[in-house]
Amino acid sequence: MRMSANKKHQPFDAVIAAPFGAVGIAIQGVQIFIELLPKKQALKPAENKTVQRVVEQIEAYFNNPRNDFNLPLIFKGTPFQQKVWQIIGGIPCGQVLTYSEIAEMLGSGPRAVANACGANHLPLVVPCHRVVAKHGLGGFMRGVDGGIKIKQWLLKHEGVRI
């Protein structure tokens, strides 16, 4: 999911082409940030090993959605967000859960789950696109123009039919 305007971590350390536009990757200290970009962007090659490792794994996902990510990750978020992200990280490729199902697991509400999805700074790695509404896709990337098309592409790429 896209970070809110005040949390963007630009400039990116790398920008790679994606079937839906581009993916920006930024490293700040030990924290990795991934941003899905709905429009083509000027590409920027990775200039260090950590960024190159992220690039390679994202490209591997685009070639085969069943590729697992193996990155040194640090999740910064509230305890609730981290619980949501842990559940999302366990959703197998090709499957989905609803916001309501995750909320029920946590004794919370669907809106709180959606907000935690929106705070995810590692889309693809923590596949928040696999969380949908009871009746349809639900939101994605906090309503950014083009976000739903990215969600549709990702789910189709993984073999999900909504």
Catalytic residues, by residue number, are: 128
Which residues, 6 or more positions from 93, have their beta carbon under 8 angstroms from its beta carbon?
A: 65, 66, 127, 158, 159
Element (H, E) at 115: helix 110-118
Is the distance from CB of 112 to CB of 103 less than 8 angstroms?
yes
Find tokens 């549709």 and name the residue. 152
